[in-house]
A and B are shown apart, each in its own frame.
Chain A
Amino acid sequence: MILKAIRWLQDVGVLGMNRRNAEYILRFNPRSSFPLVDNKLKTKQLAEAYQIPTPPLYNVIEHHGDIARLEEMLRDHQDFVIKPARGAGGSGIVLVIDHTVDSFVKQNGEVIPLKDLTYHISDILSGIYSLEGLEDRAFIEALVHPDTVFDAVTYRGVPDIRIIVYRGVPVMSMVRLPTRASDGKANLHRGAIGVGIDMGVGTTLAGVHRSRVVTHHPDTNKPVMGIQVPHWESMLFIAAKAVDMTGLDYLGVDLVIDRERGPLLLELNARPGLQIQIANQAGLFKRLEVIDKAPPEIFATPEIRVAWALETFSIRTLN
Chain B
Amino acid sequence: MKRPAIMLAVALLLVSFLLMSYRVIWLKYPILPAAPEKVWQLSIDAHVKGGEKETTVMIGVPYTHKGQMVAEERIRSGTLSFNLLREGINQVGVWSGTLSLEGETIGYNSTIRVQPQRLFKTKPSTLEPYPPNVGKEEKALVKRLVAKWESLPPEDRLRRIAAAVKGIWGTPPPDDQDLQAWSAFQEKHSQLDAFLLLLRAADLPAQVVQGLQLAESITDSTLTWIEIWTGQEWESLQPEKGEIYQKPAPLLPLTTNGLPAVRIINGELSEVRWTLNHGIINQWRMHFERIMRSNRLLDRWSLFRLPDEYQRTFRILILVPIGALMICLLRNIVGFPTFGIFLPVLMALAFRNTGLAYGLGIFWGVVLIGYVVRRWIDKLRLLLVPRLSVILTLVIVCITVFALLGNKLGLREFMAVGLLPFVILTMTIERFFVIIEEAGAREGLLTAAGSAGVATITYEILQLESLQLTFFVYPELLFAVAAVQVLLGRYTGYRLLELFRFRRFWSSS
Contact = CB atoms under 8 A, between A and B. Distances in A.
A299 to B, nearest CB: 20
16 contacts: A4-B506, A6-B499, A9-B498, A9-B499, A9-B502, A9-B506, A17-B335, A18-B332, A18-B491, A122-B381, A127-B384, A128-B384, A211-B501, A213-B504, A278-B501, A283-B505
Contact of A16 (B383, B385, B492, B503): B492
A5 B506 contact: yes
B1 interface: yes
A115 B380 CA distance: 11
A211 to B, nearest CB: 7
A22 B455 CA distance: 26
Which among A9, A27, A190 has the highest number of chain B CB atoms within 10 Å?
A9
A14 interface: yes
A31 interface: no
A6 B503 CA distance: 10
Contact of A9 (B381, B443, B494): B494
B509 interface: yes
Given A14-B505, A16-B493, A23-B492, A190 B381 contact: no
A2 B498 contact: no
A278 B502 contact: yes
A19 interface: yes
A181 to B, nearest CB: 9
B190 to A, nearest CB: 77
Contacts of B490: 22
Interface of A: 2, 4-6, 8-9, 12, 14, 16-19, 22-23, 27, 89, 91, 115-116, 119, 122-123, 126-128, 189-190, 211, 213, 277-278, 281, 283
B495 A27 contact: no
Contacts of B489: 22
A108 to B, nearest CB: 15
Contacts of B499: 2, 5-6, 9
Contacts, number: 80
Interface residues of B, number: 28
B502 A126 contact: no
B506 A19 contact: no
B1 A8 contact: no
A191 B195 CA distance: 97
B496 interface: yes
A8 B509 contact: yes
Contacts of B381: 115-116, 119, 122
Contacts of A8: 505-506, 509
A21 B496 CA distance: 16
B439 interface: yes
B383 A126 contact: yes
Nearest to A282: B505
Contacts of B335: 17
B249 to A, nearest CB: 56
Which among B335, B443, B494, B504 has the highest number of chain A CB atoms within 10 Å?
B494
Which among A116, A122, A126 has the highest number of chain B CB atoms within 10 Å?
A126
Nearest to B386: A126
